Structures are given as C-alpha cells and as structure tokens.
Amino acid sequence: MGLYQFKPPASGRMGTLWTLAPVRGASLLEYGCMGHMLYARTFLERAGIPINCRLHSTHLDETDIALGGADRLHAAVSEIILQDAPQVLFLLPSSVPEIIGTDLSALCSELQPKYPNTLLLPFGKGGFKSLSHQGVQDALMRLVKFLPRKTEKTSLPTFNIIGSCADLFRFQADAQEITRVMQGTFDMQPLCVLTSDTSVEKIREMGGAHINLVLRREGAPAAKQLQKQFGTPYLPGRPYGIRGTLQWIQSIAELLHILPDRRFLDSQKAESDRILGSALPMLRYRVRQSAEKMLLSVGGHADVVRGVLDYGCSELSLPRGTCWCDCPDMADGEISYLTEEQWTGAIQKQKGGLLMASGEALTFAGHGDTLQISNPDSRWRLNPYEPPFVGFRGALHLLDLWVNKSFQDQE
Amino acid sequence: MNDFSHLKRLSAVKTNAGVKLLTPAAGPGSHCPMHTALALSKQTAGLSTLVVGTPECATYGRMAVPQSRGKRGELHWLYVLDANEAVFGCREGLMKALEKMENAGAKAILLIVTCVPELIGEDMEGILHEIQPKLRAKLAFVLLAHFKCNSYPSGFWKTLLAFGELMEGQPKESRTVNVLANVKKEEDSDSDLPGLLRKEGFQLRFLTSGASLDDFLNASDAALNLVLSPYGQPLADRMERLFNIPYVSLHSLYQVEEIDGAFEKAEDVLRISIQENFQEERQKALCLQETSRDWLCGKRYILADIGQTLPIPLAVYLARFGMEPLLLHAEEFYPDDKGFAKALLEKGYDPPVCHMANPEADSQLISHLSANFCLGFLPYCPIPCLPELSGLLSGSGYRRTAGLLSTIRNIMAKEEEHHGTVPV
C-alpha cells in the first residue's frame, strides 16, 4: 500500500461488508472495533445502499487481544439471535483479529449447534493482502454456495442478476435497466438481484432461475457454482451501447433457445435511432473539429471501463484517451492498472477531453462530477432512480453526457 | 439477558478497559477516536495530517476530511500499511512519506496512529525522533487505537495534548486568557465568563476546533487557562506543569459554592471582579439548589449519553440531593475520573458503569431497572427521558446549574401531572 492523497484501494473486508449489507433477513456481526462498523454504515447510507441487513460489531479491548478469548463473540452472537432472530448471521473478520490470528470459521463451527434456527456463515478475505474485489467475489460465492436450496426451475421464466453490488457506481440504476430490458425482451422476471435487491429467502430460491446474468467478473465463480449445482446457464458481461445491448440480448436468446419480443426491441431501436440520428452528426463534427477535445478517457472497474470504451470508441468512433482500471488483478493488454500517482499524472497531462472516472478523480481534474462512472464517490447518492449506464437507456444517457460535455468545452 | 452482572461497579473501574458494553452487540456503535482527531485537526489552520492505519481507516477517514488539501495548503494524506508492514512495521515507509509531505508544502504534520500500528507496537516516538532533525516541518503524533477505549473523546483530548507537544515557552501576556472550550465562540454573551473577560479587555484565545496552529504554538504566553470542556483538561494540566499557567475549570462544577471558588481563583489571577457580575444567575441557582432536595431526594435515575459532559461529577452533584444513580454511561473514563468516583463512593453510591452502543437492546435492558427517569440521550428509552440535557450541560457556571435543576424538576412535574404521583 503506502502513501495516498485519495482513497486507497479498499480492503477485502470492506468489499465483503458492502456486498452483504443489502441482504434482507440477515444480520451481520463484525468481530472487531465498532468504529469501523459505524463508519461503514454511514458510507453505505451515503452510497444510497439500503441497509437491510442488521449491522453489529463486537468491539474489542486490550484484554480480548492479550488473552485471545472469544467471549465477546459468543455473547454478541447470542444477543443478535435473541434480538433479531435472523435466518442467517454473517460473521466478518476485521484487521485486529486478523493480526492476532482469530479463526472465525472454527468459532462458527463451535457455536453452530447452539443455534439450529440460524445459519452462522463466516466470511474470509480479512487479511492485509486481500483487496475489495476479492471480498466481493468471496462474498458472492459463499452466498450461493451455502444458501440456495434444491428447487425446480420456476414455471414462468426468471433470471438472477449476480454482481450488482454497492462498490460499483450507479449499481441500482443499472440493475433496474437490466430488469426492464429482460422484462420487455423476454417477459422474464427477476428472481434475485444479488445483492442490491435481495433477501435470504430470494437467495435460497436462486436455483429456480433460468439464467444468471453476471454483471462483473467477480460474479463468475458464483455463477459457475450455480451452474454446477442447478445446471443454470450464465452470461457474463455488461451491456453497453445500442449494438452492445442487442448483442447481449442475442446471446441470451441463443443460450436459452428463446426468441426476443420483436415489438419491444423494435421500439427500443427506433427510439435510439431517432436520438442517435440527431446527435451523432454533431458528435462526429466535434471529433473532426478537435479530436483532442473529444478524447474519451475512462477510469474505474475494468468491466465498466471496457463497456464504456466499446460503446464510445467502437460504436460511436470517439478517439480513445487514457484508460485505466482500479484493480491490479484486472489489468490486461488493453486496459492497464494505474496507481494514484500514475492516474493523477495522466489526468494532469491530458487537459481536455471527455474524462469519465471516479468522483475523486473528476474533482482533482477540476471537471465537476457530471461524467462520473466509478467510485470512490465524493457525493451522497440518495436517489436510486438516476439514469443508468447500461442497456438502451444507458446508451442514450452516455450519449447525452458526451454531447453536452463537448458543447460545454466549446463554450 | 436482563442482568447487569457483567458490568463493573464504579469502585472497580480504574481505566477505560473496566467500562463494558451494556449489551454485547454494538449497533451502530460509537465513533473511533480517529474520527474526532481528524474533525479537530482539519479545522486547525496550518496543520497537516497523516492517518496511519488500514484501508478502512484511510477510506473512512476521508469522510471526516473529504479533501486531501486544505484551504490554506494543509495536506491531509493517508498512509496504509501493507501485509509486510503489518508484521514488521512501517518505519521506512513512514519516514519517506513524511519527507514527501514536507516537499509538498506541509509545515507541521500530526500523525494520527490507529489500531494496527499501535497493536504491532510501532515506535512512533522513535521514528519521529529520528526523522525530525532532517525536516523543517514540526512533527507530532497521537496514538488512537480504538481497542484502548470505547468511544471518541480521546480523539479530542489526546489530539489537544499532541498540539501541546508542539508548544514552546513564551513570555507571559497578563491580559491573555486561553479558553479550552468545545467550540470557538466569536461573540460571547455577557452572561458567560468568556464574554465578561472580553468586556474587561482580555484577549481570548480559544484552543479548540477552529483555532490555528499558531494559536496553539503561542498559547504558553497566557495568564490563565479557562477550561470549559473536559477535552481541554489534560492540556491545561500539562500547561500548568510545563509553563506554570494556572487554570480554572468549570466543566465539572455544579455546586454554587464550588463555582464561587473557581471564580475567586480567576479573580486572584486576573485581578478583576467576576462573581458580582453574575449575581442574578447565582441567586437563581442557589435558590433552586436549596429547594430541590424535597423534589429530588430518593429519585433513581440512569445517566445516558450527555455528550462531552463528564457523568461522574454530575452524579456527585445530584447525590447531594439524595438522587441515586442506577447506571452510568461513560463515553470515556478519564484519568481524573478516579477522584470524582471517590467522591461519589463517599456519598454512598457505587453504580455499575457501562458504555451504551446499541440503543434498541440497551433500552430493553434498562426497562428492567426501576428508574424514575433517564438523563441524557437514549433512543427507544422506556422511561421518561431528558435527551436535550447534553445541550444544556455543554454550558457552565451558575446558569447551567439552574438550568439542570429546573429541567429535572420540570420532567418530574410533568410525570406527576400524568400519573398523579412521581414514582419513587
């Protein structure tokens, strides 16, 4: 890690907590100092995340650390089960017990027989080497590994969304657009939106879905697990742009051997064509006028960056600027990982253009946050009904942002 | 669970470690001291900060200080320990970070050290001792592991103490008074002591949130430290020890005669008349004090969150009327609390002490106590409650005493109206 001016990469512990916090019907206990949980709760509220899971911490004092006893954990588990009567109690590690070597899984195994009506589910990725994406991946995986029950496919077609989690900017709006497109195109209803709109009960029913839509690479192991367990096919990827969304729909149709509703698709296409038809000539004129001012620079989660780039550069022919992802493990030949020093340097070097990145990066660049597509955020996000970035409506939203930014820059 | 046997009684509490959670699952819990250290530091013009800890501390610390650069060029940067440093320490990395901050313009840097570096025993004093001669920037540090306390107050008082570490002796200015309060007041009313001192021509220097680093560096020239907040008490003690600056503390005084004594001490030091300016308030407080025993004797209460005000001195004062504390919530157990605890024990009361961090569960448990009312803020409180008390108690002097007694009497009168009699 080291020295940072902006928020550092989040830990695995944070990724786990942000993923689990929206799950209804569950309680969560962090084995650690309570200040972290208080901050995490405020962070989640600012990010507009419905905290449906009851969040608790044990707190720790010097005696707990010196003697290594787990009395606090035992007492807290007992209290939560008495007060909340949760179906599942998630147990999370924190930094201090990680250092003193607390074995949370062993403690859960020891306690489980005392509480037959509540599943005690311990989570890992507490160590200092784990980053947020590993916490998200681990949390998604454990939820689908331990909660779903054996079930038949639903009589009416349904789908699950995997990976709609609080660390992604505008995650709720994107999940809502995916749902709208699936309802319109295939008349399919969501069974479980993991985890931004779900409950223990819905996770238990996940095996009944006909397809799993995996919105981020961290969800792939969970989708594979569900395929193994229930034979459910899955489609990885985020649908960006008109062409990208149509291809994504085509992939679903092929995977499930079903036909999309032509009337819905035609209406979406006609609306997009009408809007693109009026805006594209202007956008292309701007590019011809000054390609430098129309450079599309994108920073954030690798899957988001790739999707926005595909739409902006491949579909709309915007010139590509500096692009980077925020996780070293996700870097590849096309999108590199940039450290704080590198992305601040790149932003300073490239003065103009369409910069889409985190709230912090945009503030640093002096751009305002209109083109924000990733976290860390610098604002409260209380409205879950902001426009999405994915799907047909996401494509129009992005187009609107780019056209207006190019006009602002001209002024 | 409906017993309190896991709690220690006041006589057995010697430090924060003796103050246990009332119910075992905190939710949402209490802020860690890093939060208040940052809240105070970001208001201190000229002071840069470096949080040293985990990604959680750094990320969430940004919620307290959203910008990495302050309005006057201060830097608020973050140092995150990696897996290797969490085992072997972060000495090298920290020294490089401090050099980098100085090169970026930091004039004074406070290292805010959180749980993990303190847990692994990182020698911050040694690191600063080694690097200070190489830097022009003044360095100080504050150890704020949350596992050493339950809540946030040490983030205030230890940070103020750390500012004290930067002070050097100055020639005395007989017309300057430092005010160690919770908030900086630009305009004082005539009815409080700072207002009177300003009227008498004294220069007031508030050593609190909003003071500049220069205010702290120059503070050793004052004739008197007026301590209105418990957060300032450890700094006042230190300044008396090192710079021979007397102090007058009002934050824990309720009894009219004790307030008289404090004012007399201030009169001696500053050579002005104080008490005669507050005769009306004094008379009112004295009258309420003399007539309240009949109202209050035998009443049992729970002391919940009363903000920065110390609970034990308040309990000592209420004990003089025969009021029995059934349970005390302590945000922090201060070093001076042992003295106050002794005074309460001498009056025959030895209540359990706890930290309330889960209002829902705590309230349920409290309903098992046969208390008449709850003083302080406690959501879901099952008994008559005075949540606004923390605002009232943040004042000082005769007016606070009068306000306290009349507020308690009012709630009892209301109860009597509701139920025909006040339960005893």
Which tokens belong to A267? 């209406």
- Identify the three-state secondary structure at position B264: helix
Q: Is the pLDDT of residue B416 over 80?
A: no
Residues B37-52: tens digit of each pLDDT: 999 999 999 999 999 9
Q: What is the mean pLDDT of residues B184-194?
A: 69
Nearest to A207 by CA among A150, A161, A272: A150
* Distance, CA of B153 to CA of B161 (rounded, Å): 12
Residue B25 contacts A where some CB pair is shorter than 8 Å: yes
Distance from CA of A82 to the nearest CA of B (A): 9
Q: Do A1 and B80 touch (CB under 8 A)?
A: yes
Determine, for residues B82 and A63 on separate chains, whether the beta-carbon distance falls below 8 Å: no
In this prediction, what percent of chain A has a pLDDT beyond 70? 100
Give the domain-ending residue among A132, A158, A184: A132
Flag whether residue B143 sits within 8 Å of chain A, measured between CB atoms. no
Q: Tell me the per-residue pLDDT of B67-120, one tens digit each, with 9 for 90 and over.
A: 999 999 999 999 999 999 999 999 999 999 999 999 999 999 999 999 999 999
Is the pLDDT score of B422 beyond 70?
no
Q: Where in chain B is the domain with CATH 3.40.50.1980?
A: 8-24+283-419, 33-149, 173-277
pLDDT tens, A82-110? 999 999 999 998 988 888 888 999 999 99
On whether the CB atoms of residues A300 and A326 are closer than 8 A, the answer is: yes
As separate numbers, helices (DSSP H) first and strands (DSSP E) second, chain B gives: 18, 15
Average pLDDT over residues A268-273: 96
- Residue A97 in domain: yes
- In DSSP terms, B325 is beta-bridged to B301
Whole-number Å distance between alpha carbons of A112 and B238: 52
B150 touches B331 (CB < 8 A): yes
CATH, domain B8-24+283-419, list 3.40.50.300, 3.30.450.20, 3.50.50.60, 3.40.50.1980: 3.40.50.1980
* pLDDT at position B190: 59
Fold of B173-277: Rossmann fold (3.40.50)
| Torsion-angle region of B316 (φ positive above 0: left; ψ -120 to 50: alpha; else: beta) | alpha
Does A305 fall in a domain? yes
Cα gap B424→B411, rounded to integer Å? 14
The yes/no answer on whether domain B33-149 falls in CATH 1.20.200.10 is no
Tell me the C-alpha distance between A217 and A137, whole Å: 8
Single residue among A103, A132, A161 that ends a domain in this structure: A132
Q: Is A367 helix (H, G, I), strand (E, B) or coil?
A: coil
Q: Considering the domain boundaries, does residue A215 fall inside one? A: no
Measure in Å the smallest separation between the Cα of A43 and chain B Cα atoms: 7
* Mean pLDDT over the full length of chain B: 93
CATH number of the domain within which A401 lies: 3.40.50.1980
With CB atoms and an 8 Å threshold, state whether A11 touches B54: yes
Chain A residues touching residue B148 (CB < 8 angstroms): 61-62
* Residue B261 neighbours by CB under 8 Å, 6+ apart: none
Q: Residues with Cβ < 8 Å from B208, sequence gap 6 or more?
A: B40, B179, B180, B181, B182, B183, B184, B229, B231, B232
Q: Which DSSP symbol is given to A204?
A: H
Q: Do A5 and B78 touch (CB under 8 A)?
A: yes
A82 within a domain of the structure (yes/no)? yes
Identify which of B360, B356, B377 has the alpha carbon closest to the alpha carbon of residue B150.
B356
CB contact under 8 A, A5 and B68: yes
Query: What is this structure's pTM?
Result: 0.94
Q: Which pLDDT score, from 0 to 100, does residue B423 have?
A: 41
User: In sequence order, what DSSP letters do the residues of A62-105 get, joined into one string?
Assistant: HHHHHH---HHHHHHHHHHHHHH--SEEEEE--HHHHHHT--HH
User: Considering the domain boundaries, does residue A1 fall inside one?
Assistant: no
Identify whether A79 is part of a domain. Answer: yes
* Region A31-45 average pLDDT: 92
A182: in domain: no
Query: What would the pLDDT profile of A134-172 be if each residue is shown by its tens digit?
Result: 999 999 999 999 999 999 999 999 999 999 999 999 999
A290 lies in a domain? yes
Q: Which of residues 92-131 of B touch A (CB under 8 A)?
A: 93, 96-97, 100, 115-116, 119-120
The chain-wide mean pLDDT, for chain A, equals 94
Parent domain of A322: 263-410
Domain boundary among A132, A155, A172: A132
Q: For chain A, how many structural domains are there in total?
A: 2
Q: What is the mean pLDDT of the segment spanning A380-399?
A: 95
Is the ipTM, as predicted for this complex, more than 0.90? yes
What is the predicted pLDDT for the residue at B188? 54
The string of DSSP letters for B295-340 reads HHTT-EEEE-B-TTS-HHHHHHHHHTTT-EEEEEE-S---TTHHHH
